[in-house]
């Protein structure tokens, strides 16, 4: 049957050329959109997105307008306030960081491992950081603040950075060099993503107290309050703040609740999916209408041939299958150039399941689109009466 259909298609190659070109272009665009969409979904589903629930940053707005000696005094007062906050019933933990609060600062730099340089996202943090952002340690343990003053301070790296560095076996105990100082790896963070729609970071985590080239006024102070105690924490914070800082000279920094940032990330991801999904839907609809119209017109032109087939004993069901299979085979042939290009791209830059899923979804959608666009014209053609068809085309 397929051989017979191929022969019929060859005899009508000129009339089928437009459908072939249309479906070739539709498949190329569809494959491109689905590859981007699947890659974005893979990024969002990947492990390591930090949990930002119940986390705020604290500080004051008038820091930049102060003299240097006043800044130092203000920082000391803020640090004292943070120490007192650790005792509050509404507070779970307090963390001091530098460029380590997710989404607020990204600092990439080079480290050296066995004479080779590797890029990493640098994070200075304290012993409460892993607890603050619910990081999963797959190997080893998080460092303590007191370890920062040892001759070889501790550091943690993400599994992605360990892979990039080519570490085989256990990374615990291995040493790296960053800005002339040697650090000892004490743990592996399973994965670290600063935002939902951002790829995993190859990150290096070091004790905040090893950073001596900046004042503590530039550091960030994060507090995690207990679930259901947001109002209690806010009241206590403002009361405590004005115990340390005069109301007429200082204003507290806007307490940044990362729950809103999490919602913004979700909205951005949703908008991105709509921006990719809506054009894809319209592309398929217009392509369906075009193919449907062409198949319908060709069925009308072939009425005498179709009527003759029925007169010679071809059943309506078989005739319907022939028309649908013609369209499916034409669609498959139109997809071959795109599949060959995609296979070559995959060979040079292999990816994970998202590439296979995108190609599979594009092929299935094209087959469904082809079958449905030919189904109704095939059904109507199968109802033709041989005598009427032959008379209409005399």
pLDDT at 34: 81
Residue 64 inside a domain? The answer is no
What whole-number distance in Å separates Cα of residue 185 and Cα of residue 201? Answer: 17
Instruction: Give the domain-ending residue among 170, 193, 208.
Output: 208
- The reply to whether 267 and 387 lie within a common domain is yes
Residue 283 inside a domain? The answer is yes
Pairing state of beta strands 108-113 and 116-125?
A: antiparallel
**∠302-305-309 over CA atoms, to 5°?**
135
pLDDT at 374: 78
- The reply to whether 281 and 364 lie within a common domain is yes
Tell me the two tokens of residue 94. Answer: 């307090």
- The reply to whether 290 and 195 lie within a common domain is no
- The reply to whether 188 and 282 lie within a common domain is no
> Order of strands across the sheet with 55-58?
55-58, 220-225, 91-97
Higher pLDDT pick, 51 / 226: 226
- The model's confidence at residue 321, banded by pLDDT at 50, 70 and 90, is confident
- The model's confidence at residue 186, banded by pLDDT at 50, 70 and 90, is very high
pTM score, whole prediction: 0.70
Residue 135 inside a domain? The answer is yes
- The reply to whether 37 and 111 lie within a common domain is no
Q: Which of 19, 5, 3 is nearest to 319 (CA)?
A: 5
Residue 242 inside a domain? The answer is no
Residue 332 neighbours by CB distance under 10 Å: 15
Residue 322 inside a domain? The answer is yes
Average pLDDT over residues 148-169: 91
Q: Which of 97, 176, 170 is nearest to 138 (CA)?
A: 170
Structural domain for 176, as ranges: 104-208
- The reply to whether 274 and 338 lie within a common domain is yes
- Residue 169 gets the label, from left (phi > 0), alpha (psi -120 to 50) or beta, of left
Residue 358 inside a domain? The answer is yes
- The reply to whether 26 and 108 lie within a common domain is no
pLDDT at 263: 59
Average pLDDT over residues 176-197: 89
Residues 100, 123: contact at Cβ < 8 Å?
Answer: yes
Higher pLDDT pick, 177 / 383: 177
Instruction: Give the domain-ending residue among 208, 226, 252.
Output: 208
Average pLDDT over residues 231-243: 86
**∠18-21-24 over CA atoms, to 5°?**
145
**What does the pLDDT look like over 261-311, one tens digit per residue?**
555 666 666 776 677 677 777 777 776 777 677 766 766 666 666 666 666
Residues 188, 23: contact at Cβ < 8 Å?
Answer: no
Residues 184, 207: contact at Cβ < 8 Å?
Answer: no
Sign of CA dihedral 306, 310, 312, 318: positive
Higher pLDDT pick, 334 / 67: 334
- The reply to whether 291 and 376 lie within a common domain is yes
Tally of domains within the chain: 2
Query: What backbone phi and psi angles, to 5 degrees, belong to 192?
Result: -145, 115
**Distance linking the first and last C-alpha atoms of the chain:** 28
Tell me the two tokens of residue 131. Answer: 């607890």
Q: Does the pLDDT at position 238 exceed 70? A: yes
Alpha-carbon distances of 176 from 113, 179, 212, rounded to whole Å: 5, 10, 18
As a residue count, the chain comes to 394
Contacts of 303 (CB under 8 A, 6+ apart): 381, 384, 389, 392, 393
Q: Does the pLDDT at position 49 exceed 70? A: yes
Quote the distance between the C-alpha of residue 270 and its chain's center. Answer: 11
- The reply to whether 26 and 109 lie within a common domain is no
- The reply to whether 41 and 131 lie within a common domain is no
pLDDT at 385: 61
- The reply to whether 203 and 268 lie within a common domain is no
Residue 191 inside a domain? The answer is yes
- The reply to whether 381 and 311 lie within a common domain is yes
Widest distance between CA atoms in the chain: 104
- The model's confidence at residue 6, banded by pLDDT at 50, 70 and 90, is low
Higher pLDDT pick, 106 / 158: 158
Residue 91 inside a domain? The answer is no
């Amino acid at each position: 049957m397929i051989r017979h259909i191929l022969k019929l298609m060859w005899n009508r190659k000129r009339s089928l050329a437009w459908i072939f070109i249309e479906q070739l272009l539709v498949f190329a665009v569809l494959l491109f959109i689905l590859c981007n969409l699947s890659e974005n979904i893979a990024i969002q589903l990947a492990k390591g997105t930090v949990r930002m629930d119940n986390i705020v940053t604290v500080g004051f707005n008038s820091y930049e307008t102060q003299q240097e000696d006043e800044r130092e005094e203000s920082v000391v007062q803020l640090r004292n306030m943070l120490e007192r906050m650790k005792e509050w019933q509404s507070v779970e933990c307090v963390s001091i960081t530098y460029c380590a609060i997710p989404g607020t600062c990204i600092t990439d730099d080079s480290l050296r491992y066995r004479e080779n340089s590797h890029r990493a996202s640098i994070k200075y943090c304290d012993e409460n950081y892993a607890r603050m952002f619910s990081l999963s340690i797959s190997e080893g343990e998080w460092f303590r603040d007191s370890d920062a003053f040892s001759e070889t301070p501790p550091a943690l790296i993400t599994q992605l950075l360990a892979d990039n560095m080519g570490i085989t076996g256990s990374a615990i105990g291995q040493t790296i060099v960053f800005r002339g100082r040697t650090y000892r790896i004490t743990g592996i963070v399973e994965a670290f993503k600063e935002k939902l729609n951002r790829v995993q970071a190859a990150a290096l985590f070091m004790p905040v107290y090893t950073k001596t080239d900046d004042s503590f006024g530039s550091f960030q102070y994060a507090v995690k309050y207990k679930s259901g105690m947001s109002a209690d924490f806010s009241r206590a914070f403002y009361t405590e703040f004005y115990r340390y800082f005069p109301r007429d000279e200082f204003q507290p920094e806007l307490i940044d609740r990362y729950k809103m940032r999490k919602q913004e990330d979700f909205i951005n991801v949703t908008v991105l999916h709509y921006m990719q999904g809506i054009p894809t839907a319209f592309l398929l609809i217009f392509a369906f209408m075009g193919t449907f119209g062409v198949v319908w017109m060709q069925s009308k032109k072939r009425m005498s041939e179709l009527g003759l087939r029925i007169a010679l004993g071809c059943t309506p069901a078989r005739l319907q299958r022939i028309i649908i299979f013609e369209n499916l085979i034409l669609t498959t042939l139109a997809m071959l150039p795109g599949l060959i290009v995609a296979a070559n791209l995959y060979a040079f830059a292999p990816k994970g399941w998202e590439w296979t899923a995108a190609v599979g979804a594009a092929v299935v959608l094209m087959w469904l689109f082809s079958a449905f666009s030919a189904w109704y014209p095939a059904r109507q053609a199968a109802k033709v009466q041989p005598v009427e068809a032959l008379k209409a085309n005399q």
